[in-house]
Amino acid sequence: MKKLFDLFLTFAKIGAITFGGGYAMLPILQREIVENKKWGTEEELADYYAIGQCTPGVIAVNVGTFIGRKIAGNIGGIVATLGVVFPSIIIITLLAGVIEYYSSLEWVTHAFAGIRVCVCVLIFNAVLKLLKKAVIDFKTLAIYLIIVFCSINFDISPVIFVVASGVAGILLKLGVRG
């Protein structure tokens, strides 16, 4: 029961202090899950994040479900998922009644513009941390550069990128050239 309570509180904290969605949660997930709680490695978190992008739903919720299930089985997955969404449900419910009135205020508009910039920096920092762990040799660098090029130049589903990268990783590790 203590483990479930810890899962709920950890993911509720992540859900409560993160603005900007799943990508902005990555540095906080990394710090809490990998560094503080030691519930997973950076590689596992990157894998969960990649899988979370390929499955329906919010990325942070999916990652919470994976981590919770790893730590405490199916009930742990449910508890972690509830922890992630609980703060948002409360905050959105409270804001829904007043957002129309306050959203037109100039200082609110400027505050959200500043928050968006900060979220970009948080995402960039998370990407750099993941990049250091993911690009470990020439082969992974080649996969990375090809995916970056394709994502900038073509309108392709992220699922295709993840599947193609997975296949490329398998083929390169097996030594198959293609």
Tens-digit pLDDT profile for residues 92-130: 888 877 777 787 888 888 988 898 898 888 888 878 888
Q: How confident is the model at residue 73 (pLDDT cuts 50, 70, 90)?
A: very high
- The dihedrals phi and psi of 39, each to the nearest 5 degrees, come to -85, -10
What global pTM score does this model have?
Answer: 0.61
Q: Residue 13's CB: how many other CB atoms inside 10 A?
A: 15
Q: SS3 breakdown of the chain: % helix, strand, coil, rounded to 5? A: 85, 0, 15
Q: Residue 114's CB: how many other CB atoms inside 10 A?
A: 9
- Which residues, 6 or more positions from 66, have their beta carbon under 8 angstroms from its beta carbon? 48, 51, 52, 77
Tens-digit pLDDT profile for residues 8-51: 999 999 888 876 666 677 788 888 889 999 998 888 888 888 78
Helix axis angle, 106-134 relative to 138-153, nearest 10°?
Answer: 150
Candidate from 16-30, 55-69, 76-90 with smallest mean pLDDT: 16-30
Q: Give the up-direction half-sphere exposure of residue 61: CA atoms within 13 A in the CB hemisphere.
A: 13
How many angstroms separate the CA atoms of 89 and 86, rounded?
Answer: 5
How many angstroms separate the CA atoms of 83 and 140, rounded?
Answer: 35
How many angstroms separate the CA atoms of 157 and 90, rounded?
Answer: 32
- Return the domain boundaries, the chain: 2-134, 135-178
Question: What is residue 6's predicted lDDT score, i.e. its pLDDT?
Answer: 95
